[in-house]
Structure 1
């Protein structure tokens, strides 16, 4: 994953001040045993890692590319497990290590096609056969402000939906077709759209997917 796709410098500076608020539907994970290993990939300051632990999941691990955010997570949630990804998206875990993984507002922070494919492939690797991947991310928005940003930055970044924020992040909103293609090797268990807020507090329409890793025939 290249510098643009990890954006470690951004997350270690401006990104440490952000608030992440995409809602978690804990009922989607009811079938995960309470002691099963669960991965919160792109955990930020540990909000969801702590929420999952508070709901009785006892083996949750959060990982993130940003040492500053992981430091904040450790300060705010002492006793929980957090690690810095030194070489994203690669994880220091054997194949099939996790019963479930969360990927909340991570793809939007990884603008490149190949980087997104590599990230999903790595999560597929570390999930058990039949393991669950709970994704929350952003489709293309239809408001004037976002459409203008998509048009303005498409030439620079080569993908419609990639744009730059005023404080230096490069983000991506996705077509439904791209998201379907990206999760090859998974079956959709549940899907929903919902109103949410971005890390800068703006209203946005989000999509959440509960996916199951296919069991080899």
Structure 2
């Protein structure tokens, strides 16, 4: 999905994938945590409120980062200048959040690139908390998967009414992206999408080898 879309439409959206803080409790409050694709900083705010002291949010959208800085003064936010590249040393981060980011990246190789960069910056034994959309089974989504499959060539890729190209995934595809990680937890949770529709998000907590 283009940076232009997120700069123009992103700041008006509400993101709803829930954060299960208990999954991160073993890290301790001094852990270095990175929210990749932080949007307007919702999760950074939750982590700081929970006592995490070293938290940074990064995003491709300058407009979303501007909103994040307004809503969470004192928190650290950075615009990704050359995504997926992070301005972090190898093995320097204790945990990465990746919430509803892959849905915004329809291309296989681009998704792999994000996961490769996350592996690079995570310490051995570091945690990746991934939340995203598997294929939905409701009539509305099934119809639009079918409608857009010929256009995009991937089942689950579609265009929303406001011009966002999104992807819902085969569960095994997401599991495959976690090669090099040990999946510790997995759950499905009800959510409301950025356009106000009900959906189910799949969440994984995985540990880097």
Q: TM-score, normalised by structure 2?
A: 0.98
Corresponding residue for 1:155? 150
Q: TM (normalized to structure 1)? A: 0.95
Instruction: Give the deviation of 1:33 after TM superposition.
Output: 2.1
Cα deviation per residue 1:8-63 (whole Å; 9 max; x = unaligned)?
00000112100011111000001112111100000000000010011000000000
State yes or no: 1:120 paired with 2:129. Answer: no
Equivalent position of 1:187 in the other structure? 182
**Residue 198 of structure 2 is aligned to residue 203 of structure 1:** yes
Ranges of 4+ aligned residues in structure 1 off by more than 6 Å: none
Name the structure 2 match of 1:16: 11
> Where does 1:34-53 land on structure 2 (aligned, <5 Å)?
34-53=29-48
Other structure's SS at 1:156 match? helix
Query: What is the match of residue 68 of structure 2?
Result: 73
Which among 86, 95, 104 is matched to residue 91 of structure 1? 86
What residue ranges of structure 1 are gaps of 5+ in the alignment? none
1:180 Cα deviation (Å)? 1.2
- 1:151 to partner: Cα distance: 1.0
User: 1:169 & 1:211 partners in 2: Cα distance?
Assistant: 28
For 1:123-153, what per-residue CA distance to the aligned partner results, in whole angstroms no more than 9, with x for missing partners? 0100000000001110100111111111111
Q: Tell me, in whole angstroms, the C-alpha distance in 1 between the residues paired with 2:6 and 2:185.
A: 30
Q: Deviations over 1:48-93 (max 9, x none)?
A: 0010011000000000000000000001111000000011110011
The whole-number CA distance in structure 1 between the counterparts of 2:10 and 2:146 is: 25
Corresponding position of 1:130: 125
* Deviation at residue 111 of structure 1 after TM alignment: 0.6
Question: How much does 1:115 deviate?
Answer: 0.3
- State the number of aligned residues: 209
Q: Deviations over 1:145-168 (max 9, x none)?
A: 111111111111111000000111
Of 87, 106, 115, 1:111 maps to: 106
C-alpha distance in 2 between matches for 1:78 and 1:177: 39
Query: CA–CA distance in 1 between the matches of 2:10 and 2:142?
Result: 24
- The runs of 5 or more residues in structure 2 that have no matched partner are none
